[in-house]
């Protein structure tokens, strides 16, 4: 027997597959859910497990042009809904409710963009905060997608601000995801878990204090042992001990 598949059925299947690829359902579920010490050998095993986990985890497909447009529209709609609802004139709240649909790949006149807009002034002097650093290589499409999705963690209060390299500085793209207090390990762990759930980042993440950045402490300048925390693909959290070795932190 020959089974004939109608054009309508094929079209319906295609639309269903496209819908399943969209991150919105998973993101909504994730946002809803947010409301509700080791030896050297242990670290080696953890690193091995992290790398194995990275190879086994499927990477999220980049958004198509249509999907990216839909996401931009949803951000703009969210902004219009919130406009005028908060009369707070403080620096942080006045800009935090504004969505930024400017994409890193479209900016060629400056090395970095910030969200919320205006927070670049804070970045130059803030010595209390810190950031998880997310790297990608010559992949501005991925940079754009992460930039848009991570803004939801600002609006949800998990992150305090974002900083992303642009097309002007795209050889090694980076997005910095800030927390307000670099000494708060619970907050740093919560942010790292949220980032991984949000964008499926399949690499080890490192956390750097903004105090070091303000002081000019960079690997390219010859500095070593810069990172304060480390977060693996298995969501294990590490800090440096008194001998500058990684030690796993367990949270009750």
What was the pLDDT predicted at 22? 38
What was the pLDDT predicted at 74? 58
The CATH number linked to 178 is 3.30.760.10
What was the pLDDT predicted at 122? 83
- Residue 75 falls inside a structural domain: no
| Beta-strand pair 246-249/130-136 | unpaired
Q: Are 134 and 202 in contact (CB under 8 A)?
A: no
Strands lying side by side in the sheet with 229-231: 112-115, 161-165, 173-179, 130-136, 205-209, 229-231, 237-240, 246-249
Ranges of residues in the chain whose predicted pLDDT is under 70: 1-100, 170, 219-223
DSSP summary character for residue 58: P
What was the pLDDT predicted at 215? 82
- Residue 228 falls inside a structural domain: yes
What was the pLDDT predicted at 123? 83
Provide the domain limits for residue 125. Answer: 100-251
- Residue 34 falls inside a structural domain: no
Tell me which H or E stretch contains 247: strand 246-249
What was the pLDDT predicted at 165? 94
- Assessment of whether the complete model's pTM goes beyond 0.85: no
- Residue 7 falls inside a structural domain: no
Q: Could you please report the per-residue DSSP string of 115-148? A: ESTTTHHHHTT--S-EEEEEEESS-HHHHHHHHH
What was the pLDDT predicted at 47? 45
- Specify which residues 179 forms β-bridges with: 130
What was the pLDDT predicted at 77? 54
- Residue 4 falls inside a structural domain: no
What was the pLDDT predicted at 69? 52
What was the pLDDT predicted at 34? 41
């Amino acid at each position: 027997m020959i089974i004939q598949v109608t054009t309508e059925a094929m079209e319906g299947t295609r639309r269903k597959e496209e819908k399943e690829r969209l991150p919105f359902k998973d993101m909504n579920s994730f946002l809803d859910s947010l409301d509700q010490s080791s030896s050297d050998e242990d670290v080696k095993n953890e690193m091995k497990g992290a790398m194995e986990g990275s190879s086994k985890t499927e990477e999220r497909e980049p958004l198509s042009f249509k999907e990216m447009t839909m996401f931009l529209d949803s951000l703009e709609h969210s902004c219009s809904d919130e406009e005028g609802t908060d009369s707070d004139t403080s620096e942080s709240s006045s800009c935090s409710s504004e969505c930024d649909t400017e994409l890193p790949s479209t900016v060629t006149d400056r090395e970095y963009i910030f969200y919320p807009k205006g927070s670049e002034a804070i970045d130059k002097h803030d010595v209390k905060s810190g950031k998880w650093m997310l790297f990608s290589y010559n992949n501005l499409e991925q940079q754009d997608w992460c930039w848009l999705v991570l803004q939801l963690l600002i609006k949800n209060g998990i992150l305090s601000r974002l900083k992303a390299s642009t097309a002007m500085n795209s050889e090694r793209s980076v997005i910095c995801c800030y927390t307000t207090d670099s000494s708060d390990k619970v907050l740093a762990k919560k942010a790292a878990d949220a980032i991984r759930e949000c964008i499926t980042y399949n690499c080890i993440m490192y956390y750097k204090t903004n105090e070091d950045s303000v002081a000019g402490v960079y690997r390219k300048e010859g500095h070593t042992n810069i990172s304060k925390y480390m977060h693996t693909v298995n969501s294990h959290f590490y800090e440096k001990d008194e001998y500058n070795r990684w030690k796993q932190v367990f949270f009750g």
